[in-house]
A and B are shown apart, each in its own frame.
Chain A
Amino acid sequence: MSVDAAWINDRVGNQVHLHILPTEKYKMVSVLAQFECALERARATKIALLPQMLMRGTVRYPEPTALIRAFDELYGAAIGARVNKHGDRQTVEFTMQVPHEGFLPEAEGLFASAMQLFAEVIFAPKTEEGGFQKSDFAAEITLQRQRIENLVNDKIAYAGERCIQEMCKGEPYGVARLGYVEDLVNLTPKELYTEYQQLIHSSALHIYMVGPIDAAYAQETCQREFSRFLHADFTEQNIGANILVGATRHKRDMHERLIVEQMDVNQGKLNLGLRSTTSYAEDDYPALVVYNGILGGFPHSKLFVNVREKASLAYYASSRLEGLKGLLFIQSGIQISHFERTKAIIEQQIEDLNNGLISDEELVYTKKGLVNQYLQSDDQPFTGAVLQMYSRFTGRERSVSELIEAVQKVTKEDVIRVARGVTIDTIYFLRDKEASQDEKTAVSAAK
């Protein structure tokens, strides 16, 4: 059983790329379709609104209720649309899960009917006077504004997002996934529709289908459903040429910044943003993956052991890697008065890695843990989709088996070399409003 999936690839016209993985291990057929574009402040808010707008209705099912009903009739085919952010790219993603018809009574043609609806959601939205329908548009503007405002309600996610925004201000990666309330204000249904037209005329659509499905049948179905929507004037925009993906090297030749934000919270959120000098496309990327694992990717990692287990300061203390950018983000939830202590322990862990204080266990456990994660990713239908997307974005192809092999080869010296390139860029602390004078002094002294 090879670790690397054997995808069957095909095209519909020059825009739609099909990637099919027939496998009997699932009961559902999972479908993912995505458009890709550069992440830019000027477009981000509009692009982020598109998935919501497209779910409002199609030419054939002009009301959202009718549209979802049509999916529900197909044994609850689960349709979803969302905007996503991968490094300096924004993607518009559509997902669908359909049960394999063989398991169900009177379900012949289930997949074909579902794909027909799916294609229509993407390419045949309901329109009015050359734009999206006005009342739908107005409703979605209100909802989108609330979605953006609601981000503050999940304090863990909010702190993580704020740390990124402060750290990457002015860089594409600092642009918010859902965009900005102020950019929604003057938007018109026509302008949004123009943005949609531009996207579908300039971005390839990659469609992944995984599950108990016959490849020829899937190809035939997609040819039929998508060829109706092909545009003669489609010209793929090369989004790889004009933006830099990868670490922003020595971007800021200055000391780390401390950002303190006050809200009525019970727990402090301490987040750190780190820059490295390598990323997905480069040879040192596997060493960076191992670095992140040793620092905070596992329960055996330095952050979990030292912040949580030894000092009892937090319930969660971990790090994650944004591989496309070569950025690392640390997150923890702590008692507000423990800010200095926790910060010092976290900084010590980074320092220790920099000084090569890595035990054999830390290295071996991390590599085994990573290999386990890579192998387990084979049980997720869209792992292959993510790897292919990364290779389109970076020009560097990496399969699961290559990643496993590369991680296994990483030595302590490799990790130390990567560690020397890691610097703390931004420290973000979300705390309560009633800071005592002593604490204020303590925090400002830390700046």
Chain B
Amino acid sequence: MKKQQYQRLNETIYEETLDNGLQVFVLPKKGFRQTYVNFTTRYGSIDSEFIVPRRQERIKVPDGIAHFLEHKMFEEEHGDVFMEFAKTGASANAFTTFDTTTYLFSSTVEVERNLEILLNFVQNPYFTDENVEKEKGIIGQEIKMYEDNPNWRVYFGLLQGLYGDYPVAIDIAGTIDSIAKITKETLYDCYYTFYHPSNMALFVVGDVDPARILHLVQANQSAKGYEAQAPIERFYPELPKQIARKRTESTLDISQPRVLFGFREQHIEPKPTARQKREAAMEVWMDCLFGRSSQHYQKLIDDGLTDQGFGSEYELTHLYGHSIFGGNSKRPEELILRVQNLLLEYADKGIDEADFLRSKKKAIGRFMALLDSPQGIANVYVSQKLRGLDVLTSLDVLQNLDLHDVNQTLREHVVDNTMAISLISPEKGK
């Protein structure tokens, strides 16, 4: 196995790509009681148009199908996969994001048996008309649950403003109407396109022997006789040049308005390392300007424009990118204006050097905290790896960051006509 050592962090990741294309990673962690395993396919809610390899047909599938498929994988002909894990007490779960679907378990005993269960159920689809129909009621309630969640609603409101009908703005679970169209045939098409081992990664973290793990996975995979699959052809609509709309508003039975606003990234970096650097630089200036230790954060609170939940974040992939600012606010218009003016002011004059150095230090410390969580490091490592990045190099990226880079990303990002606003308010009359 290839050994990737991160000396400063005192961590080693063992990695190997199997004959069928599956990427396997093992991170031994001495002293941890649990072993956590993450099995992920590079397939998420934005992958709705592609060529089905086995018939070479281009299809467009209903919104929410990747997530629906995630639910349905847990059902096998012999019953529910949760029962298999339950036999050893393992705790299993799954989640779907814009660009990945992850299956996972953590267990303290019989890790190898659970690993086999995981590999086998994810590689054995079983869909029937009946079990597909049954799931619509369950996922319907999941969708309804999110409809009552102000954070989720205002977040997707912002994405819709920034991206219009570009796939990232579509709810990961789809809608009641879109999931009604899902059939077992379409699920099989998605499955056989995206669940080939060459499109997947397996990450094992715990007090384990890497060679043993690899041996087990190799034996399991070679017995399944996967044939090679050509690279998947996916189609995304062209990213719209402009934001779709400036404002998105809705109401919900809540105590006070919640507002998010953000800018579309103009510099989509195809190169992963350039992306990693931009992301780090963005996060540092956002922390300098609006982190808990920034003078503006406390002033926004003391002036009654928001509360301690006010924050900012940034996301950048090879397809799209955006920043988000906001929180609860009784005076959302004033809050937006104040933040906008601060952004313009600092784009012009640059970030203070003392703030920059402090934020960098903080980012380094916070990154180290991630390594103490088996689940945290596995999930972040895999999602970044599938985007072409090694997250354990973050420390070096942060250390090499200079103020000039940070100020440049700030100037490039704050472009007025790329900003959208999403507001969710209590119903009128309240």
Contacts and interface: CB of A to CB of B under 8 A. Distances in A.
B134 interface: yes
B120 interface: no
Contacts of B368: 27-28, 75, 99, 103
A376 B374 CA distance: 11
Contact of B366 (A69, A76, A300): A76
Given A77-B365, A139-B301, A376-B33, A315 B256 contact: no
Nearest to B364: A75
A200 B427 CA distance: 44
Interface in B357-371: 358-359, 361-366, 368-369, 371
B396 to A, nearest CB: 12
B144 A333 contact: yes
Most buried by A among B90, B255, B294, B295: B255
Contacts of B109: 372, 375
Interface residues of A, number: 69
B362 A72 contact: yes
A312 B82 contact: no
Interface string B61-87: 000000000000000000010110011
A263 B251 CA distance: 13
Nearest to B9: A103
A266 B252 CA distance: 10
A99 B369 contact: yes
B357 to A, nearest CB: 9
Nearest to B108: A375
Given A152-B255, A369-B91, A376-B34, A313 B83 contact: no
Decide if the interface of chain B is mainly helix, strand, loop or mixed: mixed
Interface string B284-318: 00000001111101100110100110000000000
B359 A72 contact: yes
A308 B74 CA distance: 14
B328 A72 contact: no
Contacts of A98: 365
A368 B89 CA distance: 4
A372 B89 contact: yes
A370 B108 CA distance: 11
Interface stretch (B43-51, B146-154, B186-194): B146-154
Interface in A1-30: 1, 23-28
A267 B145 CA distance: 6
Contacts of A28: 368-369, 372
Interface in A137-163: 139, 142-143, 146-147, 149-150, 152-156
Contacts of B147: 266-267
B362 A315 contact: no
A76 B367 CA distance: 10
B293 A139 contact: no
A76 B283 CA distance: 14
Contact of B293 (A65, A264, A378): A65
A35 B291 CA distance: 29
Interface stretch (B135-143, B267-275, B413-421): B135-143
Contact of B33 (A146, A155, A378): A378
Given A300-B86, A335-B141, A372-B91, A104 B134 contact: no
Interface in A203-255: none
Given A75-B362, A300-B86, A379-B33, A150 B91 contact: no
B8 interface: yes
A65 B297 contact: yes
Contacts of B362: 72, 75-76
The 8 closest A-B pairs by CB, nearest first: A312-B137, A76-B362, A368-B89, A75-B365, A25-B31, A372-B89, A76-B365, A365-B86
23 contacts: A27-B371, A72-B291, A72-B293, A74-B365, A75-B362, A76-B362, A99-B365, A99-B369, A153-B150, A155-B148, A300-B80, A300-B83, A300-B86, A312-B135, A315-B145, A333-B141, A333-B144, A335-B140, A368-B89, A370-B89, A371-B89, A372-B89, A372-B108
Given A65-B293, A146-B307, A299-B82, 14 more contacts: A27-B369, A28-B372, A65-B294, A69-B293, A75-B361, A78-B366, A78-B369, A155-B148, A264-B253, A265-B148, A267-B145, A368-B87, A372-B89, A372-B90
